[in-house]
Amino acid sequence: MKFETKIVVFKAKELIYTGIFVALGIIFIGLLLYMFVPGKKEAAKPAAKYIAGVYSSELSIGDAQLQVEVAVDADHIESVDIRNMSKTVRTMYPLLSTSLKEINDQIRDVDSVDDLTFENKNQYTNQLLKQAIADALEGAGV
């Protein structure tokens, strides 16, 4: 068996066209893989917890009827306020203002009203306010 040498001649134009088509084919296959291979999905934005607005509920302390107003945005509780609090109520129930301040200090950092923590000295007042806030938030879509 004798081997004969064969000479193959390529034209430069054919080599350039072939290179371009090979590169386009690789890009096309890469694009198809990128589009159709399942990968990491972007995390879906969580639905809003609340319907933004100001919600209120009534709180009866002694003979006084107080309005507890809770301001919320879509994601968290902004603030809690008490309306119709007269000087008499402030004098008779001094822990009410202290408890309200303590709740407002914590309210933006917690996910739920149930996560609020209180000191033992005004536990009863805090529980009353906590229940009034929860009642007001029932209309907020919680």
Domain CATH for 122:
3.90.1010
Section 42-59 average pLDDT: 76
- Is 18 a domain residue? no
pLDDT, one tens digit per residue, over 26-50 is 999 999 998 888 876 666 666 667 7
**CB-based burial label for 35 (10 Å; 0-12, 13-18, 19+):** exposed
Asked if the structure places residue 25 within a domain, the reply is no
Query: How many angstroms separate the CA atoms of 40 and 88, rounded?
Result: 61
Q: Which domain holds residue 71?
A: 53-140
Mean pLDDT of 100-119: 80
- What is the reported pLDDT for 1? 65
pLDDT of residue 142: 46
pTM over 0.85: no
